[in-house]
């Protein structure tokens, strides 16, 4: 990996680490767990990719990311529907 790309990745990681530190100051673990519980009550638990792959075996399985934004490019397709 070239130095420029590496520098960008390092700066992204450092910015995210600082974001986590700041977020922990603003929201307690108890509040975060309450938000998660509320979300899961309304929308259900997150899908486990590993469980889905195991259920479909030996059929072909694909794991993909649907990206709506990029740290370097900003918003890509914020309103796009992954379904």
Task: Please tell me the predicted confidence (pLDDT) of residue 22.
Answer: 95
Task: Please tell me the predicted confidence (pLDDT) of residue 61.
Answer: 65
pLDDT surpasses 80 at 23: yes
Task: Please tell me the predicted confidence (pLDDT) of residue 1.
Answer: 59
Segment 26-62, tens digit of pLDDT: 999 999 999 999 999 999 999 888 888 788 777 776 7
Mean pLDDT throughout 11-17?
96
Higher pLDDT, 31 or 79: 31
Find all residues with CB under 8 Å of 35, minimum gap 6, and list them: 27
């Amino acid at each position: 990996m070239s130095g420029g790309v590496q520098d960008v990745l390092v700066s992204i990681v450092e910015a995210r680490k600082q974001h986590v530190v700041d977020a922990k100051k603003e929201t307690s673990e108890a509040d975060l767990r309450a938000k998660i519980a509320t979300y899961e009550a309304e929308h259900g638990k997150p899908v486990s990719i590993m469980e889905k792959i195991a259920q479909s075996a030996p059929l072909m399985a694909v794991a993909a990311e649907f990206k709506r934004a990029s740290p370097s490019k900003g918003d890509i397709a914020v309103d796009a529907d992954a379904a």
